[in-house]
Amino acid sequence: MHIYKHTVKYYETDRMGFTHHSNYIRWMEEARIDFMDRIGWNYQRFEDEGLISPVTAVECKYRKTTTFPDTVTIDVSVEEFRSIKLRIKYVMSKENGDIVCEGASEHCFLNKDGKLVRIDKEYPEFAKILTQMTE
């Protein structure tokens, strides 16, 4: 598990003062990019290797509201990894421990020609890291 923190910005709230629902998915992306960087596979490295990892699905279950300037802790973990598919889980909490959102994103791996890449075959060291991190 990896922890990422985000402070709710004023512009992320709606007229009622609550964080707009679309921002939680944006925070998942922020947390995922930070997670990938920390495990040594940042997006610059992906591009240098000729890889991309598009989102193929996203889920978001809202539990409680957040407002400006709450600090949201995002626990990031690898829920599933199968060579061409990666599923990342996110649990977002306020400082008091209340879970505000639970989500997941699924990704595949493509080369620069748009063909699926089997990470376990072509990037075994990356596959090993993801496998070790799978819950």
CATH number at residue 74: 3.10.129.10
Active site residue 14: yes
pLDDT tens sequence across 105-133: 999 999 999 999 999 999 999 999 999 99
Please state the domain count of the chain: 1
pLDDT tens sequence across 76-99: 999 999 999 999 999 999 999 999
DSSP codes of every residue in the chain: -EEEEEEPPGGGB-TTSBBPTHHHHHHHHHHHHHHHHHTT--HHHHHHTTEE--EEEEEEEE-S--BTT-EEEEEEEEEEEETTEEEEEEEEE-TTS-EEEEEEEEEE-EETTS-B--HHHH-HHHHHHHHHHB-
From 14, 34, 37, 48, active-site residue: 14
| Band of residue 135 on the pLDDT scale cut at 50, 70, 90 | confident
Domain span at residue 46? 2-133
pLDDT tens sequence across 27-41: 999 999 999 999 999
pTM over 0.85: yes
